[in-house]
Amino acid sequence: MTTSRNEAIPAPPWRKQRKASAVRQQLSLDVIVDTALRVLDAEGLAAVTMRRVADELNTGPASLYAYVANKEELLDLVYDRVLGEIEIPEPEPKRWKRQLRELYVSTVTVLGRHADIALVGLANLPTGPNALRMGEAFVSIMLAGGVPPQTAAWGMDSIGLYTTASAYERSLYLLRQKRSGKEAEVFFDEYFGQMRAYYESLPASRFPSMHKHMEEMFTGGEQERFLFGLDLMIDGLERAAVKRPSRR
């Protein structure tokens, strides 16, 4: 019987078989950031470490340091990658309040899709390309509406802090819900039900206003309350805006 010279020859049965090693993915900054983002989405911010990302890429942590200086820089890059998902509109002077509202709502929504990434945005000046793009958009929209430059700059800081903190708080609630193993609706009904019961148990003589207006205190959902605060801040910017003369 003839055999082909290219036909594989089996190894002797006494020889230890090697396990097939995973193919190492070609490293690049984009691949590292993508991997870190996947870990974040699956397990949260605390799970994103240089070692964990390196393990996911079948390499050692030292390989990552050729692309990022440390974990903090990696998280900044992941945060900026997330901000890139937000669509930026062209400023329209007649719609500036609506545009500003929609952009901040979009920011909370996008941050909320990625675990507790919002924490990275707290006490962090924008330096990434997407963060800078957003900062430019916020200021440009306010200026288009007649908001003075100084007010626009401080307004961006204040509303940005409110928005980022709201997104982070939302992620903490969702983390509690996941740990409980309960459906979101069940968990939140039980949680806020317990909070209300506790508040109602407080002595009315010491907390008369809270007792009298308990219904109002526990009215409204998370999104409704966020929009309430956001509109308060945007309305404040409108009061500071320079009134443009009407064209006839």
Per-residue pLDDT tens digits for 133-190:
999 999 999 999 999 999 999 999 999 999 999 999 999 999 999 889 999 999 999 9
- Comparing 3-7, 69-73, 209-213, which segment has the lowest mean pLDDT? 3-7
CA distance 51 to 234: 43
Superfamily for 29-82?
Homeodomain-like (1.10.10.60)
pTM, full prediction: 0.84
Specify the domain boundaries for CATH 1.10.357.10 within the chain: 87-240
CB 107 within 8 A of CB 121: no
User: Which distant-in-sequence residues (6+ apart) come within 8 Å of 148 by Cβ?
Assistant: 240, 241, 242
Q: Residue by residue, what is the 3-state secondary structure of the chain?
A: CCCCCCCCCCCCCCCCCCCCCCCCCCCCHHHHHHHHHHHHHHHCHHHCCHHHHHHHCCCCHHHHCCCCCCHHHHHHHHHHHHHCCCCCCCCCHHHHHHHHHHHHHHHHHHHHCCCCCHHHHCCCCCCCHHHHHHHHHHHHHHHHCCCCHHHHHHHHHHHHHHHHHHHHHHHHHHHHHHHHCCCHHHHHHHHHHHHHHHHHHCCCCCCHHHHHCHHHHCCCCHHHHHHHHHHHHHHHHHHHCCCCCCCC
CB 29 within 8 A of CB 66: no
CA distance 157 to 237: 12
User: Which distant-in-sequence residues (6+ apart) come within 8 Å of 121 by Cβ?
Assistant: 79, 111, 160, 164, 167, 168
**Reported confidence tier of residue 6, pLDDT bands at 50, 70, 90:** low
Taking alpha carbons only, the member of 50, 79, 80, 52 closest to residue 65 is 50
**Reported confidence tier of residue 21, pLDDT bands at 50, 70, 90:** very low
Q: Which residue has the higher pLDDT, 47 or 6?
A: 47
- AA letter at 49: T
Tokens 């010491």 map to which residue? 206
> Does the structure show a pLDDT above 90 at 124?
no
Tokens 């400023």 map to which residue? 91
> Does the structure show a pLDDT above 90 at 4?
no
Interval 101-115 mean pLDDT: 97
Which pLDDT belongs to residue 25? 62
Work out the number of other CB atoms within 10 angstroms of the CB of residue 104.
23
Percentage of the chain modeled with pLDDT above 70: 88
Q: Which residue has the higher pLDDT, 16 or 52?
A: 52
Specify the domain boundaries for CATH 1.10.10.60 within the chain: 29-82
CATH number assigned to the domain covering 87-240: 1.10.357.10
CA distance 67 to 167: 29
- Comparing 1-10, 61-70, 93-102, 228-237, which segment has the lowest mean pLDDT? 1-10
